[in-house]
Structure 1
Amino acid sequence: MAHSFSYTHYDLDMQRGGTMIEITLSAVANVRLMSHGNFDLFRNARQHTFLGGVAKQSPIRLKIPKSGHWHVVVDMEGHAGKAESSIRLVPQAPRKPVPHFSAA
């Protein structure tokens, strides 16, 4: 059984845990960050878990909790109209090298 509402799907492929993603929306919408397995459940209108929820402001940022294959879905379930969306990975600041001191 498929969903009765339309959604926009972004396949993030393999991502490292801690990677930040930023989703820009033109209207209030639901944003769901899901593992590959949960996306399969979602696609088949089954019980699934996700990070995110109703995005009332834009952009929103979500952090990928652990390394793996991830998906983002933007949908209008429970909201009127349609939201345009875009997504980007937020570059992580390079780690500063730790100063190394040798014994005198």
Structure 2
Amino acid sequence: MSKPNFRFTHYDLREQRAGTIIEVSLNAVNNVRLMTAPNFQRFTEVLDFKYIGGVARKSPVKLAVPESGHWHVVVDMEGHHGLAESAVKVIAAPANQKMSPPS
């Protein structure tokens, strides 16, 4: 199994509810990618994968979890000068938020 040929930092967010805000702080421009467990697996195998986020030019970056499930954040230096120092904070979804019906 090959790995991405650039450095990255991985955060396993475990199970998160839809609407939860993921706040990522960085000390340099890097890519911030929020992805599901199957997409993280594809990322580590250097296959096509889907994610929310992209190039983070400002810190902190806030991303909303679109659906309940097991989520991962990857901060990576692909296309940038070096790997940023990063920190992730999980901000709980508002308690009064209505769960959207399954589609």
TM-score by length of 1: 0.87
Q: What residue in structure 2 maps to residue 10 of structure 1?
A: 11
Supply the distance in 2 between the matched residues of 1:15 and 1:94 (Cα, whole angstroms). 13
* Structure 2: runs of 5+ lacking an equivalent: 97-103
Residue identity matched to 2:82: G
- Structure 1 residues 93 and 18, CA, compared in 2 at 3 Å: closer, same or farther? closer
1:72 to 2:54 alignment: no
Q: Give the CA RMSD over aligned residues.
A: 1.1
Supply the distance in 2 between the matched residues of 1:66 and 1:91 (Cα, whole angstroms). 13
Aligned counterparts, 1:64-103, within 5 A: 64-95=65-96
Q: What residue in structure 1 maps to residue 101 of structure 2?
A: none
Structure showing greater radius of gyration is 1
Give the count of matched residue pairs. 95
TM-score by length of 2: 0.88
* Structure 1: runs of 5+ lacking an equivalent: 96-104
Deviating beyond 3 angstroms after TM superposition, the runs of 4 or more aligned structure 1 residues are 91-95
